[in-house]
Amino acid sequence: MAAVILVLALLLLFLVGLFFAARWLARRWLKLRPTSDLAGVITPTGFALNGCFVLVLIVGKAAREIEPNGPLGAFLNQPGGQIAGVLIAVIGYNVAAAALSRLGHPIMRRKHGGDV
């Protein structure tokens, strides 16, 4: 039992260290390249669109597990169905992001100083 607790504590320590190392690298990278396209902030529209994307992935997983003989579950259970489902979701996400950006609701905006 003590070995399991030790392993979990070490795993937690590793994950916390990984988080702070990634944060430090991001801060350093932003100082060197503040005008990069990757130096942005997700807008509320972006959060909503990301939430919809995650919901589509969860619905696909639920359709495969709960109703494998239904139309969506049968599509996702055939060979290549999962890959096709993810590709359709990604293409739909990008089309929606482009349409929302043209309507004045971008999913990202430039970061103007501040914290990572």
Task: Tally the residues of the chain.
Answer: 116
10-residue averages of pLDDT along the chain (116 residues): 90 95 87 72 90 94 90 90 93 95 86 56
In sequence order, what are the beta bridge partners of 40?
Answer: 110
Q: What is the 3-state secondary structure (H, E, C) of 16-49?
A: HHHHHHHHHHHHHHHHHCCCCCCCEEECHHHHHH
**Residues 6+ away with beta carbon under 8 Å from 105:** 43, 45
pLDDT at 11: 94
